[in-house]
Amino acid sequence: MSLADKIVAANWSRVDEAMRNASLSFSQASSTGTESSASSGRGAALGDAAFPGAVLSVGLGGETIYHRAFGCRSVVPEKSRMQEDTVFDVASLTKVLVTTFLAMGLVDRGQLEVDRRLSRIFQTFNTHGKERMTIRHLLTHTSGYPATYPYFRTLVKADKGIRSGVMSSRAAVDMVYQEIFRAKLENLPGKVTKYSDVGFILLGNAIELLGGMSLDKLFARNIVKPLGLKNSGFIEHAALRRRGLEPVNEMIAPTAHCSWRGRLLSGEVHDDNAWAMGGVAAHSGLFSNASDVHLICRELIEAYHGRSQLLSKDVVREFWKRDDTDPQSTWALGWDTPSPEASSAGQYFGANSVGHLSYTGCSVWIDPDREIDIILLSNRIHPSVENKQIAHFRPLIHDLVMETLGVS
């Protein structure tokens, strides 16, 4: 069946129904007291829904063939409808849509080798077992660094003391980098796979040094401008303060209430460390919508088939090949691949597929051989981070989409 025939023949009713049901109890919540109990942070408390609302986008052959919004953009402090162009805090999708994409470009231009030791990039990076650590270890989450660390607490303390004003500044970023430099590893590099924000923050430092500018500027120059992205970027707190600007919150899906910031978060990154670093970090901080994420996925698929002006086929295929540093791992370089059992991708994505998830409720999966991308952007942690239903929903919706497209 041709691409045109598949688009015409697709019946999206089951997908529509699943998306509606996934947000139904939130959408039906009214002034019955349900919303106020959720906003107090005492639980997910709005039924078994996976999220208040979401945007689902499906790309096939470079074209968007399905793009619809469901449920609520917000339920507190007031209800508002989800829109197709709503912008989300995509959290850990930053790792692939920004950091890994930039790393691919550096490799393509000969400025970086994935097996380069970090001690060749950072002159003092040669203690506590780090002398053997490479870029590959950071990309495959085998660096030996912990999953995360509360650097923001150090910065909060410093900001209240002799370093008043350091919070959300470039100095805060440098303080985090230095803390990572000094940290001891949990394991020697290459020995254990452990998903690590810390490793990706360090990777961002390397990319900034090799690229000659900050991560947000590299993203704007190398990805936003050439792809024509209109709704993607980091919300840098210091720049907003200098210009007296505020994010357009009506366009952004709020996340959760933050206890130490004392407010419901909207237009500021949910991740604590990324916020303390000023909103620009390699592991989290990107805000985007489904249309822009699709454009990034489309370009990567084009590159996979040798049709891109931004990235070469060889580099993309190298990054998307499952790494053998740890035979038990599902990670490629930066990207995850479908798990043999119970994958969030469902059961139909091909062997060369890649994807990534985020804590805030967003995900992307790409089947490059079939030229399919499925983007699910949701506000699953609004208003409470306790809702875990999305873990059960992701494989279901991916399977329904693939079955609609006739993939089996």
In a domain, 332, yes or no: yes
In a domain, 270, yes or no: no
Q: What is the mean pLDDT of the chain?
A: 90
The pLDDT, as a whole number, for residue 249 is 78
The pLDDT, as a whole number, for residue 127 is 79
The pLDDT, as a whole number, for residue 40 is 34
Tokens of residue 266, six digits: 């909207």
The pLDDT, as a whole number, for residue 10 is 81
d(CA 73, CA 41): 18
In a domain, 38, yes or no: yes
Contact 143, 199 (CB under 8 A): yes
pLDDT digit string (tens) for 262-280?
Answer: 999 999 999 999 999 999 9
One domain, residues 223 and 100: yes
- In the DSSP assignment, the letter for residue 111 is S
One domain, residues 223 and 147: yes
The pLDDT, as a whole number, for residue 35 is 39
The pLDDT, as a whole number, for residue 240 is 59
The pLDDT, as a whole number, for residue 265 is 94
The pLDDT, as a whole number, for residue 27 is 75
The pLDDT, as a whole number, for residue 1 is 61
Total domains in the chain come to 2
One domain, residues 106 and 215: yes
Please tell me whether residue 9 adopts helix, strand or coil conformation. helix
In a domain, 250, yes or no: no
The pLDDT, as a whole number, for residue 245 is 55
The pLDDT, as a whole number, for residue 253 is 97
| CB-based burial label for 240 (10 Å; 0-12, 13-18, 19+) | middle
The CATH number given to whatever domain includes residue 374 is 3.40.710
Which residue, 229, 252, 270, sits at the end of a domain? 229
Ranges of the chain with pLDDT below 50: 30-46
Domain encompassing residue 216: 95-229
Which residue, 206, 229, 252, sits at the end of a domain? 229
Which residue, 183, 199, 229, sits at the end of a domain? 229
pLDDT digit string (tens) for 208-253?
Answer: 999 999 999 999 999 999 999 999 999 986 665 566 556 667 899 9
The pLDDT, as a whole number, for residue 250 is 85
pLDDT digit string (tens) for 342-388?
Answer: 899 999 999 999 999 999 999 999 999 999 999 999 999 999 899 99
One domain, residues 88 and 113: no
One domain, residues 294 and 381: yes
The pLDDT, as a whole number, for residue 216 is 96
If you search the block for the tokens 């990324």, which residue do you land on? 274
The pLDDT, as a whole number, for residue 48 is 73
One domain, residues 111 and 73: no
In a domain, 253, yes or no: no
The pLDDT, as a whole number, for residue 86 is 97
The CATH number given to whatever domain includes residue 148 is 3.40.710.10
Tokens of residue 322, six digits: 């499952």
One domain, residues 195 and 289: no
Residues contacting 348, CB < 8 A, separation 6+: 398, 399, 402, 403, 407, 408
d(CA 278, CA 283): 13
